[in-house]
């Protein structure tokens, strides 16, 4: 399921949806997993239409490829939707995103360097910063490991996504006020 590159601009009194993009290296493991989990939370919270979720990679090695089969297997086994085509994050996408969530500190540095303005750089956050119990804020890349690494990745993503949902809900409600 390909994702739109940016939400439609706001027209009239209806604000544009709050746009969240998850970013990892190749956009085939961590970021599509995080997007699927968060999309489910958004839907379950009744925020469909108010929040849009997508994902990308800092690099374009896998553009057009589906998610890693191990990502899909872990998502399916946990009851999440799958269906994804990898793509690379572009600097001009900052204009259409409210929040850009890096899966590790390397991604965070890359995205902040890519940001056209300081305000765009401020949109970049680490996903695990939304998990109050997280020690290390990086979600390790499971690509070169076995299936257990993908399960661990999902556990970290789910733990951070609850806090992220609270922050996004507050931002959406703030827009409506």
List the catalytic residues.
24, 30, 141
Question: Which residues, other chains included, contact 66 with Cβ-Cβ below 8 Å and sequence gap of 6+?
Answer: 28, 72, 83, 84, 85, 86
Other beta carbons less than 10 A from residue 4's beta carbon:
10
User: Exposed/middle/buried for 129, CB within 10 Å: 0-12, 13-18, 19+?
Assistant: middle
Any idea what DSSP says for residue 16? Answer: P
Enter the tokens of residue 84: 């994804």
- Residue 143 phi/psi, 5-degree rounding, is -50, -45
DSSP bridge pairs for 19: 52
């Amino acid at each position: 399921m390909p994702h739109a590159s940016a939400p439609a601009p706001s027209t009239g009194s209806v604000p544009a949806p709050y746009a969240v993009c998850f970013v990892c290296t190749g956009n085939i493991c961590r970021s599509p997993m995080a997007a699927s989990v968060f999309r489910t939370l958004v839907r379950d919270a009744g925020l469909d239409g108010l929040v849009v979720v997508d994902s990308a990679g800092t690099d374009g090695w896998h553009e057009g490829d589906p998610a890693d089969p191990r990502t899909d297997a872990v998502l399916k086994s946990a009851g999440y939707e799958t269906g994804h085509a990898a793509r690379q994050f572009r600097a001009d996408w900052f204009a259409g995103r409210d929040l850009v969530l890096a899966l590790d500190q390397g991604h965070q540095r890359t995205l902040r360097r890519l940001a056209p303005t300081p305000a765009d750089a401020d949109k970049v956050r680490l996903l695990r910063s939304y998990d109050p119990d997280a020690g290390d804020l990086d979600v390790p890349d499971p690509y070169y490991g076995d299936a257990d690494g993908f399960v661990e990745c999902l556990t970290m993503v789910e733990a951070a996504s609850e806090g992220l949902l609270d922050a996004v809900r507050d931002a959406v409600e703030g827009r409506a006020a």
